[in-house]
Structure formats: C-alpha cells, structure tokens
Amino acid sequence: MYTLSNKLRTFSFALIILGFIGVVYGFMSSHKSLDEVKTMLATEAAHHGGGSHEVAQATHEVDPHEGHGNAMSHGEDTHADAAHGETAHAEADAHEHHGDAHAEHVQHQLANRPWSALYVAAFFFMMISLGVLAFYAIQIAAQAGWSPVLFRVMEGITAYLLPGAIIVLLIAVASGTIGHYNLFVWMDPEVVADDKLIQGKSGWLNIGWFAVRGLVFIAGWSTYRYFSRKFSIAQDNADDNSNFKKNFRISAGFLVFFIYSESIMSWDWIMSVDPHWYSTLFGWYVFASMFVSGITVIALIAVYLKSKGYLELVNDSHIHDLAKFMFGISVFWTYLWFSQFMLIWYSNIPEEVTYFITRIEDYNLPFFGMVVLNFLFPLLILMNSDYKRVPWFVVMAGVVILFGHYIDIFNMIMPATVGDRWSVGIPEISSILLFAGLFIFVVFTALTKAPLHAKRNPLMKESEHFHY
C-alpha cells in the first residue's frame, strides 16, 4: 500500500493556497474602469509611436465583420444585400466612435484574462486525467500484456476526472452567468442579437443545452471510471475472472461513448470560444493533445513511485513502452496540428483563416514555439532506444511535453478571449499552481486507497515479466 507522505501533502496544499491567492489577485486587478483603460492605451500609443498601432487595431477589428458578411451572403442569398448594408453601416459607426469602442473592447479583454487563465489551467489538468482514462480503457479492451502493473497508477490519475471536469464546466457556465461573458461570446445575448451567424447556431450553442451536454459527458466518463475501478479492485480477491470480463466489456463500450463525447466536448468547451470558426478534425486534435499529456503523466508518476520504491515490478521495459507512446503520440499530435494548419493556410478562405492569422500575428512565439516543444524536442530526445529506458531522460522529455501542451490549450483559448492582451503572469501561473496542487492531492490520495499491484489480473504475470 502506498502512503501519502506528509511532505507531498504539504507541498500540494502550499500549491493550492499560493495559487488561490494569485487567482484572487488576478480577479481583483483585472477590472479596470473605462478611463483607466483609455489612459493605459494613450500611454501605450505614445510608446509605440502613435498612429500605426491604432490603424493596425482598426483593420484588425474590421476583419471579422468582413468575413462575417461574406459568410452570410453565401448562406442566405435573399438577405445578402440587406445584411451587407447593415455590416457596412456598423463599420461606419465603429469608425465614428472608434475611441470608446476600442477602449471598451480592451477593457473586456483585460477582464477576461483571469477567467481564461483559470479555464486553461482547469482544462489542462482535466484533460490529463481524461486522456489517461482513454488510455486505460484501450489497454483493457486491447488486453495489453505489458501494462497491468501500471493499472493502479492510471486509476489513481483518473480519480481527478470527476472533480476536474465539474470545475471546468462550472467555470464555463459561471463565465456566462455570474461573469460578463468572459469566455464564450455566444453566451452574451447582446452579441447574439447582432450576429446572424451565432443566431444560426444558437440551437446548439445556448447555456442550458451546453450545461446539459457537459453533465451527460461527465456522468458517462465518471460512471465508466467508477465501475472499472470497482471491478479492478474486486478482481484482486475474486475466485474467477468475471470481474475482468465485465471490465473488458464496459471498456469497449466506453471507448465508443468516449470518442463521440470527446469530439463534442472539444466543440463545446474549446472550439465555441471562436463561434464563427469551425474545423472538422478539431476533436481529434484535442484528443491527441490530451492523450499524449495523459501518457506522459503516467510515465512521470510511475517513475516517481518507482524511485520511492513502491513499484518494484515496473522495470525499464515498461518505462520504455510509455516513452515510445509519448514519442509516437507526439508525432501524431504534430500530424494533426499540421494537417489543420496546412489545409487552412493553403486554401486561405477568409472566414477560416482568421483563426490562424490572429495566432500568428499576436501569438507568434507560443504558436510556433509549441511545435518545437511538442514535436522537435520529443522527436530528437526520444528517438534513441537507449534514452527511452533512462528515467531522467523520460522525465525531462515529459516535463517539456506537458509544458508544450499547456501552451497548446493556451493557444486555443486565449486569442478568442484576451486577444493581443495576453501575457504569462500572475493569473496564468497561479491558476497552474492551484490546479497542479489539487491534481497532486487528489491523485496521490487516490493512490493510497488500493494496493498498487492489481493481483489476479489474468495478464499480470505477463506484465510482471514484460521485457522488451
């Protein structure tokens, strides 16, 4: 049995408290009055040499309207002219009252920052445990012979899924109920009133239905997790393999549910921050990100527990296999990232390409930097077969991969909410600390609840002697 050391408990509480203070500070300092924002912008304009920056801002703001007008004329031929006229009028308006409108826009972006920082961190840690749950179900459904010694580690990590996913959904819904629509513009009735494109999607994108969908997904994932864990522990003291068989059946069923729910979840929780934009392989892309992060965390926790002497049966070959998965799925993530980017870059259709233009212009370093972190680094570090067996190499690559995938989620959410007002400061780092502390506490507490060795699993003997 694993016992949670006092050091680790204190460490996780320290992270939670430190993070919580930072998050509160982030929320306190982000609400600025319109005058404060105007003063700030005036100072900035002076620094940047005035005019050019303002002009860039103005064209940048008009862009979505243009794309919007085009999209509508494609969709509704009869209303095309009227709609276009309206848009043109709105543009003229925007230019007249540009000063105020711009300041209000910036004010809203600043207020969004702590919300987005919290949401990105919450989603990042939730997706780790969801990725691990999918990996766990695949191992059981595929009857993998190497992984049963790691099942209890995976079960420990998935314990975070229920609280983590509820927190993500709560932040999302709260941003539209107690907040001022800080994450999802489609939650704002005023925006929807002027936006034909979102109106057309409001049958899907409305808070009630959004919350119900979220609850259904969380219920589905948690139910599978609950029963799979129950059968896994029951198998320890059973006389036959009936629990193993039940676990196999529900895992296969869960994987079907998972791939639908994960896809829809990624439209809801991530893609809908940009309600004018859509991409068909987005669900896969988010899946690759969560899968590789999940596998990385399994490897990190396994290496940690082994170094503390709790997993004697985990040998170099198990770490080697996890490292191979980290390597392979990193390449898979890159494949999807590039496929999504290249198809949109190549055809350059205005209503699609704005997504990447804002990212390349305002998020150049994070956007391309994450390709280095998530692809180039693991590719070169984890290609060598010998390196994959060296724990500190795996840990180093794992830390870089996790950082890279945090940046990935950051790149998906931030451009839609805070735009070019992003930075990595107290709100972002504190949110990471808060959820990292919570994650460590929940996961390691769950690890103390059952023996780390799943006895009587029919594949356990093979796993113990696994050698590559």
Partner 1 sequence: MESSKVIHAIYTDDDVLMAAVKDVRTAKYHIDEVFTPFPVHGLDKAMGLAPTRLAITAFIYGCIGLTVATVMMNFIMIEDWPQDIGGKPSFSYLENLPAFVPIMFELTVFFAAHLMVITFYLRSKIWPFKDAENPDPRTTDDHFLMEISVNNDNEDAITELLKTTGAVEINLVDKAH
**How many whole angstroms separate alpha carbon 148 and alpha carbon 461?**
9
Which is closer to partner 1, CB of 8 or CB of 331? 331
Residue choice 29, 199, 348, 364 for contact with partner 1 (CB under 8 A): 348
Q: Least distance from C-beta 338 to partner 1, angstroms?
A: 7
Which is closer to partner 1, CB of 352 or CB of 428? 352
First-last CA distance in the chain: 28
Question: Could you say whether residue 387 binds partner 1 (CB under 8 A)?
Answer: no
**How many whole angstroms separate alpha carbon 226 and alpha carbon 217?**
14
DSSP letter for 154, please.
H
Residue choice 13, 204, 341, 403 for contact with partner 1 (CB under 8 A): 341
Q: Least distance from C-beta 60 to partner 1, angstroms?
A: 20
Q: Choose one: 27-35, 230-238, 341-349, 357-365; the region binding partner 1 (CB under 8 A).
A: 341-349
Q: Least distance from C-beta 286 to partner 1, angstroms?
A: 21
**How many whole angstroms separate alpha carbon 431 and alpha carbon 441?**
15
Which is closer to partner 1, CB of 80 or CB of 343? 343
Which is closer to partner 1, CB of 163 or CB of 350? 350
- Cβ atoms < 10 Å from Cβ of 409: 22
Q: Choose one: 50-58, 97-105, 230-238, 345-353; the region binding partner 1 (CB under 8 A).
A: 345-353
- 370 Cβ partners below 8 Å, 6+ apart? 404, 405, 407, 408, 411
Question: Could you say whether residue 346 binds partner 1 (CB under 8 A)?
Answer: yes
Burial 273-287 (b: 16+ CB within 10 A, else e): bbbbbebeebbbbbb
Q: Least distance from C-beta 342 to partner 1, angstroms?
A: 4
Which is closer to partner 1, CB of 35 or CB of 316? 316
Question: Could you say whether residue 364 binds partner 1 (CB under 8 A)?
Answer: no
Instruction: Find the helix or strand (DSSP H, E) in which 134 lies.
Output: helix 98-141
- Residue 161: C-alpha distances to residues 213, 267, 447, 454 (Å): 16, 19, 14, 21
Residue choice 11, 345, 387, 403 for contact with partner 1 (CB under 8 A): 345
Q: Which residues bind partner 1 (CB under 8 A)?
A: 338, 341-342, 345-346, 348, 383, 385
